[in-house]
Structure 1
Amino acid sequence: MRPDILPSHSGRLVLIRPREEDDPCVAALRSHPNTRRYLPFTPTHVSLEDACAIRLKRAADETRVPFNIHLASFSPGSDPASTFVGSVSVTHIDLEFKSCSLGILISPDYVRGGIATDALYTLLSYVFEDRKLHRAQIVTAVDNVGMRGWLDKAGATLEGINRDSFANGSGGYMSMCWYSILEDEWRSTVKPRLEEKIAQATSLLKAS
């Protein structure tokens, strides 16, 4: 159950399994200072060869389902850079306990435009409705106020803070927040809240 493409709820986006054509966009995104702001333990520079190696490694990992996020104007043979807006993935899939983790990176040019909400809604739908998993968790840095605010408003549960749990890449440590969403919470709370946010963002785009 590793689909090649997932259309988003709003129709604005498509989630596409990573392709070689996307490697330059992925390298640029993972190297961007804004991306590394809350991921300082990642390499300061990701080359095209690095992006290719990441893609191939993740494609071979049965516990991971990665996607690149493109605007819906994407079409085969088009310039990936013109529609690439980020990446999102399901990781650490455990079929015995029906659990997984989620991760997302959005291009700095597209933050606060509803892209993350639409993409994560699509991914959560896949996790809970297609894969029939029970639990999804998201880990983010304590000082990532934007992501934490999004998770709180969406209805995710903050389970705790792991103090000094990740190396910060500069000889120190950073604390991480652990959030989770359960399948019943998805249906009763998170799904309707995100649908409302997506509807508001879509109406604003139509009005502009």
Structure 2
Amino acid sequence: MFIHRVDEDLALKIIDLRDAERIFELTNQSRDYLREWLPWVDMTIKLEDTCEFIKGTLKGYAENRSLTTAILYKGEIVGTAGFNEIKWSNKTAYIGYWLGEAYQGNGIMTKVAKALTNYAFQDLKLHKVEIRAAEGNKKSRSIPERLHFVKEGNIRQAELLNEHYVDHVVYGILAEEWNKMLNND
């Protein structure tokens, strides 16, 4: 089983069906908050929906094309994060994440995104990591900005969200840029 310790309070573990109740409960607790930027929230209305999501992530992991983890903060699941997609042909991973509303503002997601980026470059030997966020989602965009990802551009009307389209901002960082930044810290 994949488990990655980030620090004393924070770890990432491969998501599995035993996590379904907690993840569904966390989604329900944060439903209005998450709904602003995540279109899947409205399609997650019962526990079975979360189970189907987890089955899909486990299939992606088994096929070596994605990695979805539960974020453990002080032993409790507080969100999910991982590589929504790994394009081995280009050696690129695409990070996605969400955090329950009650756990915002603790630096959790910045540490998680940093750990995933390190994992992508050091363990998976990938060339590039991307993070995409809705243009208006300042909290989500602040993560790659804090981690010195390069803003590469916008994708117009990239996602249908709550009956209107939103543009996405694309951030990326290359392995050599990441390693140089870490060596300068």
- TM-score (norm: length of structure 1): 0.79
Query: Match of 2:20?
Result: 23
Gaps spanning 5+ residues in structure 2: where?
none
In 2: Cα distance, 1:4 partner to 1:88 partner: 13
Instruction: State whether residues 102 and 136 of structure 1, in contact with CA within 8 Å, keep that contact through their aligned partners in structure 2.
Output: yes
Query: Match of 1:13?
Result: 10
Find the partner of 1:128 among 101, 121, 125: 121
Query: Match of 2:40?
Result: 42
Deviations 1:175-200 (A, max 9, x none): 111111110121122x469xx7xxxx
In 2: Cα distance, 1:93 partner to 1:150 partner: 20
Query: Match of 1:178?
Result: 170
Find the partner of 1:70 among 25, 49, 72: 72
Query: Match of 1:188?
Result: 180
In 2: Cα distance, 1:33 partner to 1:165 partner: 22
In 2: Cα distance, 1:64 partner to 1:168 partner: 23
Instruction: State whether residues 157 and 181 of structure 1, in contact with CA within 8 Å, keep that contact through their aligned partners in structure 2.
Output: yes
In 2: Cα distance, 1:162 partner to 1:150 partner: 18
Give the direction of change, closer, same or farther, for the CA distance of 1:112–1:192 in structure 2 (3 Å limit). farther
In 2: Cα distance, 1:142 partner to 1:95 partner: 27
Number of paired residues?
179
The structure whose Rg is larger is 1
Deviation, 1:49, is 0.3
Question: Any runs of at least 4 consecutive aligned residues in structure 1 with deviations exceeding 3 A, and if so which?
Answer: 28-31
What is the identity, as a one-letter code, of the residue corresponding to 2:117? Answer: L
Query: Match of 1:162?
Result: 155
In 2: Cα distance, 1:143 partner to 1:192 partner: 32
Give the direction of change, closer, same or farther, for the CA distance of 1:128–1:168 in structure 2 (3 Å limit). same
In 2: Cα distance, 1:148 partner to 1:111 partner: 14
In 1: Cα distance, 2:135 partner to 2:22 partner: 27
Instruction: State whether residues 159 and 166 of structure 2, in contact with CA within 8 Å, keep that contact through their aligned partners in structure 1.
Output: yes
In 2: Cα distance, 1:164 partner to 1:117 partner: 26
- TM-score (norm: length of structure 2): 0.88
Q: Percent identity?
A: 23
Query: Match of 2:132?
Result: 139
Instruction: State whether residues 42 and 169 of structure 1, in contact with CA within 8 Å, keep that contact through their aligned partners in structure 2.
Output: no
Deviations 1:129-175 (A, max 9, x none): 000000011110000112223322321111111121211232x2111
